[in-house]
Amino acid sequence: MNQVMMTKIYPRTGDKQTVYLNAVINDTQIEVGDYTIYNDFVADPLLFEKNNVLYHYPIHREKLIIGKFCSIACGTKFLFNCANHTLKSLSTYTFPLFYEEWELKKSNITTAWDNKGDIVIGNDVWIGYEAVIMAGVHIGDGAIIAARAVVTKDVPPYTIVGGTPAKEIRKRFDAEVIQQLLKLKWWDWSADKIRKCLPYIAERKMDELFTIKKDRL
């Protein structure tokens, strides 16, 4: 991800509930693209790492990668691998975690849970209120995650999902438009170019967007 750290924390004057995430992230295992916002009206959004990125311990060095221009609603949680209990054993009890009590090797501590990998969120993704994203999930560009959905599987680009576990509700656009948007990648444009194109984005004027894409703004 080509990441430029935002220097401004709050996008709107007088609004302390909404932050540009990559301006408040310190953990090197969390990558957030430009203009991605997090809103929290319950807790301090500056505490996103502590309150929203859970079971994210250094032992795995797993990553949370979030693209550009994402909108993340209050209470969204990202649950990492250490929240899992292994399903490979006859018991779900985390014996390796308590290696001293059970006289086990400390080096085998990670066998207490199943490692499903990083969480990767694409660009222009909207994650609704109190949604939960589980370890190993990849969410495609332009997807929408409904409020309080529990996402356990990958979500294709420009797909709306909801429920527990989250299932596809519908595609946002037809297949042709989706492919055009994935080719366009407007989120990689300069701020000036995006600003010029906002009317076309709002009005779904794809031809105009592809014409302007060729401009060197």
What is the set of active-site residues? 85
Cβ neighbours for 21, distance < 8 A, ≥ 6 positions apart: 32, 36, 37, 38, 48, 66, 72
End-to-end CA distance of the chain, in Å?
Answer: 21
Give the Cα separation of 167 and 215 in Å (integer).
39
- DSSP H/E element including 146: none
- Residue 187 DSSP label: G
Residues in the chain: 217
Strand duo 167-171 + 159-162: pairing? antiparallel
**Whole-angstrom Cα distance, residue 191 to residue 172?**
25
| Token reading at 156 | 């294709």
**Contact between 123 and 141 (Cβ < 8 Å):** yes
Contact, 137 vs 143, CB < 8 A? no
